[in-house]
């Protein structure tokens, strides 16, 4: 007796042929826009040493404490599936001496990431992320460029109902005073905080602002705001960013509640958010992390970037009725009327494919009538029927599947190809 059907793991998804062209469209659009902004692609491993994420993402974050897929390999090393792309980009930047290149270093990636969390709309345990990183640029104009890149592809993809929220969370100069203000505030609510937030209170109280617990979230709404505790340099940096966004014509709103969920952020943080998929959801988010490269063993180097989940982006596009191109269809379907036609169709299709023409033939032994129905379902632009008489004469009839118009053609590959182009 056959065993039960095996299903995909919870929190993962299949992209089937009827939908994959949408992914190709989004991915090609993102690659083109990233290139227009001067970004080059970088690729890195699916798994890394766990220490990279503990040091880079932060040991008090939900990602490290609750969400990473971590295991010990056969050599006794602690390995984790990659939960995000920034730490891996920094590791690759340092390990491959990419800091020797002219600054700024600008890279993008399109990769799967893995987080063990409750699956929700557009957020899966295995999800795909488009991200960009810029190393070596301290100016607020770099922040504005990165934000404008995200704004550009969202508009290009026809996404509606998106708003930009920005905030500044300060730097190492002004952060200590703000951290103390948070400790004083949350210290008065110790009896109400969840166990995780109690552990964060002394070490990193900013993480409490990002807690998903309804009680902690409610308490956090009354907490001191980062923008009220900025040093003069951070305040000027934030002001310059707002001015640049205004000059670009990009609408923004200051949201003091944005702190992002990873420890490495400094100064600018931002999110593009939507309400099209239920409760407010982040489509794209990022910011500046000027201390991360040094934390991972490099020289002090400013950095910034963002990540955009592709599953959520596609979901928002569909919810806002953004246009997708049609699925690609074959240029030609070659039907076979008999055994001689079957052999000729196989040889001709191979020759045409070498000329970059997409061709489909029947591989299931269908009748000619069934082949014509199949040809219609493939969406092929043209159909050519081959039998013994066509093979012997070297002539056939090319039929347009759209309007039924026909034209005579020789059966040499160049003859057919010239009519299809």
State the CATH number of the domain containing residue 260.
3.30.930.10
129 in the same domain as 38: yes
Q: Are 307 and 84 in contact (CB under 8 A)?
A: yes
Q: Is the omega angle on the peptide bond into residue 104 within 30 degrees of 0, that is, cis?
A: yes
Q: Can you give the residue range of the structural domain that contains 391?
A: 332-420
Establish if 181 belongs to a structural domain: no
385 alpha-carbon distance from chain centroid: 44
237 in the same domain as 126: yes
- Cα gap 20→22, rounded to integer Å: 5
166 in the same domain as 69: yes
Q: Are 351 and 335 in contact (CB under 8 A)?
A: no
Percent of the chain whose predicted confidence (pLDDT) is above 70: 97
* Structural domains in the chain (count): 2
pLDDT at position 2 over 70: no
Q: Which of 319, 340, 364 is at the close of a domain?
A: 319
Backbone angles phi, psi at 218, to 5 degrees: -65, -40
Kindly report the three-state secondary structure assignment for every residue of 178-192.
HHHHHHHHHHCCCCC
pLDDT at position 131 over 90: yes
pLDDT tens string 279-292: 558 899 999 999 89
Q: Which of 291, 319, 347 is at the close of a domain?
A: 319
Backbone angles phi, psi at 212, to 5 degrees: -90, -10
158 in the same domain as 244: yes
- Strands (E) across 202-302 are located at 253-254, 266-274, 281-288
pLDDT at position 336 over 70: yes
What are the start-end ranges of the H helices in 249-398? Answer: 292-295, 310-319, 339-353, 368-378, 388-393
**Averaged pLDDT of the chain:** 92
Kind of pairing between the strands at 406-410 and 303-309: unpaired
Please report which confidence band the pLDDT of residue 270 belongs to, taking 50, 70 and 90 as the band edges.
very high
pLDDT tens string 19-66: 999 999 999 999 999 999 999 999 999 999 999 999 888 766 767 777
pLDDT tens string 344-398: 999 999 999 999 999 999 999 999 999 999 999 999 999 999 999 999 999 999 9
Establish if 183 belongs to a structural domain: no
**Token duo for residue 77:** 């090393």
**Between 17-36 and 310-319, two packed helices, what is the crossing angle to 10 degrees?**
110
- pLDDT in the model for residue 262: 62
- pLDDT in the model for residue 60: 62
Establish if 189 belongs to a structural domain: no
pLDDT at position 343 over 70: yes
Please report which confidence band the pLDDT of residue 168 belongs to, taking 50, 70 and 90 as the band edges.
very high
**Cα Dmax for the chain:** 93
Please report which confidence band the pLDDT of residue 209 belongs to, taking 50, 70 and 90 as the band edges.
confident
Q: Is 155 helix (H, G, I), strand (E, B) or coil?
A: helix
Q: CA angle, corner 22, sides to 69 and 156, nearest 5?
A: 100
pLDDT at position 261 over 70: no
- Cα gap 406→330, rounded to integer Å: 18
Q: Are 91 and 55 in contact (CB under 8 A)?
A: no
State the CATH number of the domain containing residue 360.
3.40.50.800
């Amino acid at each position: 007796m056959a065993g039960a059907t095996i299903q995909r793991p919870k929190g993962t998804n299949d992209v089937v042929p009827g939908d994959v062209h949408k992914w190709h469209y989004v991915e090609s659009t993102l690659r083109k826009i990233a290139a227009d902004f001067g970004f080059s692609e970088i690729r890195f491993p699916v798994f890394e040493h766990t220490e990279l994420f503990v040091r880079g993402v932060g040991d008090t974050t939900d990602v490290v404490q609750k969400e990473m897929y971590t295991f010990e390999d056969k050599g006794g090393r602690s390995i984790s599936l990659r939960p995000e792309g920034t730490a891996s980009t920094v590791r690759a930047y340092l390990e491959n001496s990419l800091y020797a290149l002219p600054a700024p270093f600008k890279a993008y990636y399109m990769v799967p990431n893995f987080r063990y969390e409750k699956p929700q709309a557009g957020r899966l345990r295995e999800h795909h992320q488009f991200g960009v990183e810029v190393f070596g640029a301290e100016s607020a104009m770099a922040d504005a460029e990165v934000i404008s890149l995200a704004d550009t592809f969202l508009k290009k993809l026809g996404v509606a109902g998106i708003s930009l929220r920005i905030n500044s969370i300060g730097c190492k100069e002004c952060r200590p005073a703000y951290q103390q203000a948070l400790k004083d505030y949350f210290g008065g609510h110790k009896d109400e905080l969840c166990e995780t937030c109690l552990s964060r209170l002394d070490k990193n109280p900013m993480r409490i602002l990002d807690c998903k617990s309804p009680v902690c979230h409610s308490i956090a709404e009354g907490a001191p705001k980062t923008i009220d505790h900025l040093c003069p340099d951070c305040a000027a940096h934030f002001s310059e960013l707002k001015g640049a966004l205004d000059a670009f014509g990009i609408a923004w709103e200051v949201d003091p509640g944005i702190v992002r969920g990873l420890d490495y952020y400094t100064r600018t943080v931002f999110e593009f958010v939507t309400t099209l998929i239920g409760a407010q959801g982040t489509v794209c988010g990022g910011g500046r992390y000027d201390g991360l490269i040094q934390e991972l063993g490099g020289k002090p180097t400013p950095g910034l970037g963002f990540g955009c989940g592709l599953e959520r982006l596609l979901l928002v596009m569909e919810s806002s009725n953004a246009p997708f191109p049609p699925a690609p269809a074959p240029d030609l379907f070659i039907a076979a009327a008999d055994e001689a036609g079957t052999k000729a169709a196989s040889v001709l299709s191979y020759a045409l494919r070498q000329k970059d023409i997409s061709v489909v033939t029947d591989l299931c032994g269908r009748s000619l009538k069934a082949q014509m129905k199949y040809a219609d379902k493939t969406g092929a632009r043209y159909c050519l029927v081959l039998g013994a008489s066509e093979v012997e004469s070297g002539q056939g009839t090319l039929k347009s599947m759209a309007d039924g118009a026909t034209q005579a053609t020789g059966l040499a590959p160049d003859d057919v190809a010239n009519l299809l182009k």
